[in-house]
């Protein structure tokens, strides 16, 4: 029947999007492995790992926007934006699990302490991600925020992620 064909098509599309997201995340693995290390992450100028992650993701998104139908591009955008944040959080929370010989990391990598400097770096990274996500968020998510909290969808914009620690995360809009 028509419904079963449609269901199978959507499942197939979802599998393809999952594979695209995995390929993109694999392409950014070197940047993620440097997160929460003292030399490459904490002592570097700016946020080079997050900047590289955002630039890579942005390039892929631009490329795929040309080839994917709007329905699939919206799903892809939501998936990739979610996954880059989840992977960042995972590396922050589980950093010691990634510093081992199986990841071909230098045995002399020094992990950061959980001090104010480290949290300041995390804040800069989060602000950069916030700005990128709010700029690239699918319209469907803006519409959802508007339905949940009328008049608040405009509050989640790049202007709120100014990089100096005064940003408001998207979740703050829903709990005010």
pLDDT of residue 17: 95
Cα torsion 158, 160, 164, 166 to 10°: value is -160
d(CA 126, CA 35): 12
Tens of each residue's pLDDT in the chain, 176 residues: 788 898 999 999 999 999 999 999 999 999 998 887 777 787 777 778 999 999 999 999 999 999 999 889 988 998 998 899 899 988 887 664 444 444 444 455 556 666 677 788 888 888 898 888 888 876 766 666 667 777 655 554 444 433 333 333 333 333 33
What is d(CA 54, CA 126) in angstroms, rounded to the nearest whole number? 12
37 strand-pairing partners: 111
Q: How far apart are CA 65 and CA 6, in angstroms?
A: 22
Look at residue 14 in the predicted model and tell me its pLDDT: 94
Count CB atoms within 10 A of the CB of residue 5: 9
Sequence-separated (6 or more) residues with CB below 8 Å from residue 72: 13, 17
Q: Distance (Å, rounded) from C-alpha 21 to C-alpha 106? A: 27
Q: What's the Rg (C-alpha) of the chain?
A: 18
3-state secondary structure of 36: coil
Place of tokens 């790049």: 158
């Amino acid at each position: 029947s028509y419904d079963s064909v449609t269901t199978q098509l959507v499942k197939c599309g979802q599998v393809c999007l999952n594979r695209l997201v995995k390929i993109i995340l694999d392409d950014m693995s070197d940047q993620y492995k440097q997160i929460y290390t003292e030399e490459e992450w904490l002592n570097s100028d700016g946020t080079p790992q997050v900047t590289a992650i955002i630039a890579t993701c942005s390039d892929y998104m631009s490329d795929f926007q040309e080839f994917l139908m709007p329905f699939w591009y919206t799903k892809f955008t939501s998936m990739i934006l979610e996954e880059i944040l989840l992977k960042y959080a995972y590396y922050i929370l589980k950093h010691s699990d990634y510093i081992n010989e199986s990841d071909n990391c230098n045995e002399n990598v020094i992990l950061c302490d959980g001090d104010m400097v480290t949290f300041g770096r995390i804040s800069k990274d989060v602000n950069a991600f916030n700005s990128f996500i709010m700029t690239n968020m699918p319209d469907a998510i803006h519409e959802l925020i508007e339905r949940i909290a009328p008049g608040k969808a405009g509050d989640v914009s790049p202007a709120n992620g100014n990089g100096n620690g005064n940003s408001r995360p998207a979740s703050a809009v829903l709990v005010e």
